[in-house]
Structure 1
Amino acid sequence: MVLDQTKKLLIVIIGALLNAAGLNLFLIPADVYASGFTGVAQLLSSVIVQYAPFYISTGTLLFLLNIPVGILGWLKVGKSFTVYSILSVALTTMFMGILPETSLSHDILLNAVFGGVISAVGIGLTLKYGASTGGLDIVAMVLAKWKDKPVGTYFFILNGIIILTAGLLQGWEKALYTLVTLYVTTRVIDAIHTRHMKLTAMIVTKKADEIKEAIYGKMVRGITTVPAKGAFTNEQKEMMIIVITRYELYDLEKIVKEVDPKAFTNIVQTTGIFGFFRKD
């Protein structure tokens, strides 16, 4: 347990550092915006600089935006997930205060691509190890636990607002470069972890009862079991089918590896669900 938590903490620190580096060294100097709450923080910081007599950094605004979301996550999602999410945001804010806002290149396209890639690697690693970078991830978890809402719609709307506002504030060329950053970020996160909100896991194992008990002890999910038989070995097994959110993938992988390292697990995208999913 201590080793697992230490590894997760280390990944959160590395992810926050990469996210801050992508912002301070590439995106912010080039006036290219990131996705989600980070992009909103960038926009607010730009507006404040232009129209207010004071300055608030992007990192500070990012932390302030995540405070009400963090409280919501603490109440509705769970303490562990929310603590690591807020810790990730706090570390990102700290690293953004330490790293200088300096451009490594004057080419806007290079800034858009490399900034998106570096930030996405940090975000993807954080998600892969069962944490998040706050913001819309916590909102998505709340919606997943409350109702089966199309979270992707909210991501699309918010990112659309970011692109539109970027065009109005910085010119439509910058808005197009922002679109490039959003695309690159999504593709890299998808390669490292997954961008799909819901996933179906099919687990073929000889220890179905033990895995079921371990899953029920960690998450509230329905499981369907189907008799299975190895074609080569003729061994009798069971195939467990379970639908999860992307934030539960790390916990499920850890449970299966601990209980039955020889189990075969196939993770596929779930495009839709009909019927009971979960209500806490």
Structure 2
Amino acid sequence: MTTLGCVLMAASINCFFLQHHFLSGGLAGLSMILYYLFQWPAGTTSFLMNIPLFFLAYRYIGKLFCFDSLVGSLIFSVVLDGTSFLQSLVYVDDPLLSCLAGGVMEGLGCALVYRAETSTGGIDILGFMTKKYYNISVSTTNFIYSLFLMAVAVFFFGLEPVLYSTVIFFLAFKATNFFMLGFDYKKTVLIISSQSDAIGQRIMSEVNRGITILHGEGGYSHAPQDIILVVVKLTQLAHLNTIIKEVDPMAFVTVQDTNDVFGRGFTAPNVEGTLPPEWAAKKAQAEAQEATHKEN
């Protein structure tokens, strides 16, 4: 899956980005600027720039994270240079179509790489380090780097390619989230009803979701009122609405999008709070094995 993701990311660059002087995110974007200026191979340049970051990841984040990033970066770099022939086979004259197609393809590739629990290194490494030691979010680090990248690109290539590249960043981000989550979105539902007991029992028995009863008070009447809080998958929302309408058509209901849910019935929490759950688990396992080896 990692290889397929890297192929899609590399194909988006070679088929849609390079011909219009567009930029990708991460260190690949900086390597593309060097390619435009000096014709240095983008894949090789990207991997060489990643090497100092691998040492930082090995020392400050963990061996397994470093290894995963090294493998992902190596595959991406090899595939990026290996598919450079696509530049002569595929040419889309319309920059907007190239922007749209390339952004979605790159997002799909990123999603496949993340689903394989790997990374292509680069700015992700800096992001995890700033999160761990300075409590600066990964997204903030990526945003600051992107501003730097855009400023450099404007200086050399003008405003138009940078504006298209901004659209690519947005599309790739949205596409990555979509392909990562699919239709497995979560919804947080608040239900205010005089029939809260009956609604709650049916939710637990039919939807198979736990509920929380909050004790509220009417703002006008000051009458006590139970409020049901429940988190459901998007595919369960229609059934939940049916239950509410059947039990109490006059119930007051609010539905909110929920990005992450940790706990029973959903995803296990990331205790360390610095790495994705899969990498955090791998790191903990490796540290336990090292401790056992030292004791023996």
TM-score by length of 1: 0.64
Cα 1:243/1:104, change in 2 over 3 Å:
farther
Of 24, 33, 52 in structure 1, the residue corresponding to residue 23 of structure 2 is 33
- In the alignment, the residues of structure 1 paired with residue 163 and residue 155 of structure 2 have an alpha-carbon distance, to the nearest angstrom, of 12
- The amino acid that maps onto 1:153 is T
- In the alignment, the residues of structure 2 paired with residue 244 and residue 18 of structure 1 have an alpha-carbon distance, to the nearest angstrom, of 32
* The structure with more radius of gyration: 2
User: 1:16 and 2:6 equivalent?
Assistant: yes
Partner in structure 2 of residue 59 of structure 1: 43
- The amino acid that maps onto 1:134 is G
* Contact 2:12/2:106 (<8 A) preserved: yes
Match runs of 1:1-280 below 5 Å? 11-49=1-39, 56-99=40-83, 100=87, 102-193=89-180, 201-204=261-264, 245=273, 247-250=275-278
Cα 1:57/1:90, change in 2 over 3 Å:
same
- The amino acid that maps onto 2:34 is L
- The amino acid that maps onto 2:277 is L
- In the alignment, the residues of structure 1 paired with residue 174 and residue 146 of structure 2 have an alpha-carbon distance, to the nearest angstrom, of 15
Report the identity percentage.
Answer: 24
- The amino acid that maps onto 2:153 is A
1:174-197 Cα offsets, whole Å, 9 max, x none, are: 111111111111111222338xxx
Cα 1:170/1:94, change in 2 over 3 Å:
same
Cα displacement (A) at 1:109: 1.0
Cα displacement (A) at 1:153: 2.4
- In the alignment, the residues of structure 2 paired with residue 244 and residue 191 of structure 1 have an alpha-carbon distance, to the nearest angstrom, of 26
1:251-277 Cα offsets, whole Å, 9 max, x none, are: 6899xxxxxxxxxxxxxxxxxxxxxxx
* Contact 2:43/2:80 (<8 A) preserved: yes
Runs of 4+ in structure 1 over 4 Å off = 239-247, 251-254
- In the alignment, the residues of structure 1 paired with residue 149 and residue 279 of structure 2 have an alpha-carbon distance, to the nearest angstrom, of 33
* Contact 2:12/2:105 (<8 A) preserved: yes
Q: What is the alpha-carbon root mean square deviation over aligned residues?
A: 2.7
TM-score by length of 2: 0.61
- In the alignment, the residues of structure 2 paired with residue 158 and residue 243 of structure 1 have an alpha-carbon distance, to the nearest angstrom, of 27
Partner in structure 1 of residue 186 of structure 2: none
Cα 1:25/1:162, change in 2 over 3 Å:
same
Cα 1:133/1:204, change in 2 over 3 Å:
same
- In the alignment, the residues of structure 2 paired with residue 156 and residue 131 of structure 1 have an alpha-carbon distance, to the nearest angstrom, of 21
Cα displacement (A) at 1:241: 6.1
* Contact 1:16/1:91 (<8 A) preserved: yes
Q: List alignment gaps of at least 5 residues for structure 1.
A: 1-10, 50-55, 206-238, 255-280
Query: SS of the counterpart of 1:203?
Result: coil
Q: How many residues align?
A: 201
1:89-133 Cα offsets, whole Å, 9 max, x none, are: 111111122215654311111111211211221112211232111
* Contact 2:22/2:162 (<8 A) preserved: yes
